[in-house]
Amino acid sequence: MADMTQAVVLIGGLLALLALGVWVSLALLACGILGIVAFADAPAGVIFATKSWDAASSWALTALPLFIWMGEILYRTRLAEDMFSGLGPWVRRLPGRLVHVNVLGCGIFAAVSGSSAATAATIGRISLPELKSRGYDESISIGSLAGAGTLGLLIPPSIVMIVYGVAAQVSIIKLFIAGVLPGLMLMVLFSGYIALWSILHPDRVPPKEDRVSWGQMIARLRLLLPVTLLIIGVIGAIYGGIATATEAATVGVVGALLIAGFGGSLTRKSFFDSLMGATRTSCMISFILIGAAYLTSAMSFTGLPANLAAWISSLGLSPYALIAALTVFFIVMGMFLDGISIVVLTTAVLMPAISAAGIDVIWFGIFLILVVEMAQITPPVGFNLFVIQGITGRKLPELVVMALPFFLLLVLATALITVFPQIVSALPNAMR
């Protein structure tokens, strides 16, 4: 009964503070203080000092601001426009034609950005006006962008992967590698749906445009060369065991600066804008991590996580039943919290139960990121929906309807990796 009281007070207090608009990090700290003062006999100030240092001094966390800065630099280049020009001729023969550029462009930009919002915003600013001017149906154009924009969380290097790796104390490199096949699978699912939709609605797809010669198609591929080299430099260095995640992030920043420099978009203003953008985002994430570490520590003093794990284990749920229950739980959380907050709030609490159920922590990380991707297009707090609303001016309910098929595809992808966990584990196992 005492455990139930603790859970109700802490969770209720957290939800109340978030509903009042209190910053996530401050809400976490406040609930941590409440937990220690009300339910544990421990020095709240000393614990805050030690946990803040532990959370902020993790070496693995140094990759985070570097990858964020890399994405901020590329966000201010012509990269998205070049990708549209380079990829466009190669998808003209597919059902749905240029709409596939949303999926491919987001997949490529995700591999050098790590941010879902940045991926959706960068590709959307170029692709949506272009698709609209050529007569493509806005429901499939906007819906595919909303879904494909979430690839920024799954395709490495992913900011959320780094956060999960630090919180769960697992290899960030293995997480990066584990995300490759699920990311490609998701791109295939999205493109498959676009093709099927186009076949079923031929009247809503514009007529074929003039063919581009093979010579022109190959020539336009040179526009993809800079980003291709950057992906090879970052992901190749990690997968080949040449560099750690932090060293690969440094390579990424240098490569992004070179791309921006040779492309003519690197100015004093763009350099400092990218630096300040990365600083703001990194500080926000760091404060959330500190707050989550403090709340987790406070909960451990109360014994709540261990008791929760024991309670879940006592239910006798099979791994499949546990995953199904957690999927629903995370979808509900995604209606009110952003992805990073979900990861840091739940990881430490759920890890004992996940280990007790025999679920691989690397696999669970990819599963968690998939359900966090759903949160990006789930109202009322769907960050990708807000980004696209800013680009299109559409009302949120309209965007929700457009994004719904791609939300369901994310649910399908979650089911596929649950039934076939080898999709996640194949590449990390090959590294051993």
Query: 386-402 as b/e, with b when 16 or more CB fall inside 10 Å?
Result: bbbbebbeeeeeebbeb
- In which residue are the tokens 């009302």 written? 395
Angle between helices 268-302 and 159-168 (to 10 degrees): 30
CA distance 359 to 380: 31
In a domain, 24, yes or no: no
pLDDT of residue 383: 72
Backbone angles phi, psi at 213, to 5 degrees: -65, 160
What are 89's two structure tokens? Answer: 């001729």
- Alpha carbon of 356 to those of 57, 171, 307, 309, 331: distances in Å? 29, 20, 12, 8, 23
**Number of alpha carbons in the 13 Å side-chain half-sphere of residue 129:** 9
CA distance 114 to 71: 7
Helix (H, G, I), strand (E, B) or coil at 377: coil
- In which residue are the tokens 């987001």 written? 106
Q: Which among 74, 407, 88, 415 has a CA at the least distance from the CA of 263?
A: 74
Give the number of residues written for the chain: 432
In a domain, 3, yes or no: no
CA distance 19 to 39: 24
pLDDT of residue 402: 93
pLDDT of residue 144: 92
- 424 CB neighbour count, 10 Å cutoff: 27
- In which residue are the tokens 């749920």 written? 317
In a domain, 8, yes or no: no
In a domain, 104, yes or no: yes
In a domain, 307, yes or no: yes
Range of the domain at 99: 44-430
Q: Which among 177, 204, 200, 113 has a CA at the least distance from the CA of 150?
A: 113
What are 53's two structure tokens? Answer: 């240092």
pLDDT of residue 14: 75
pLDDT of residue 309: 58
- Cα distance between the two ends of the chain: 46
Q: Which among 289, 382, 367, 369 has a CA at the least distance from the CA of 336?
A: 382
The total number of structural domains in the chain stands at 1
pLDDT of residue 342: 78
One-letter identity of residue 166:
V
In a domain, 247, yes or no: yes
Query: 107-140 as b/e, with b when 16 or more CB fall inside 10 Å?
Result: bbbbbbbbbbbbbbbbbbbbbbebbeeeebbebb
Q: Where are the alpha helices (DSSP H) in 44-171?
A: 44-56, 63-75, 79-87, 100-113, 116-133, 138-149, 151-154, 159-168
In a domain, 33, yes or no: no
Q: Which among 382, 383, 403, 385 has a CA at the least distance from the CA of 393?
A: 385
Helix (H, G, I), strand (E, B) or coil at 42: coil
What are 78's two structure tokens? Answer: 């012509």
One-letter identity of residue 158:
S
What's the average pLDDT block by block, 10 residues per block, for the chain (432 residues)? 64 76 79 80 78 71 79 76 75 82 85 75 79 87 90 83 85 89 94 93 78 72 80 79 81 88 85 88 77 74 64 73 85 72 77 81 93 80 77 84 93 94 90 62
Helix (H, G, I), strand (E, B) or coil at 229: helix
CA distance 57 to 294: 14
- 225 CB neighbour count, 10 Å cutoff: 12
Output the furthest CA–CA distance in the chain (Å, rounded): 75
In a domain, 35, yes or no: no
CA distance 424 to 271: 37
What are 295's two structure tokens? Answer: 């709340």
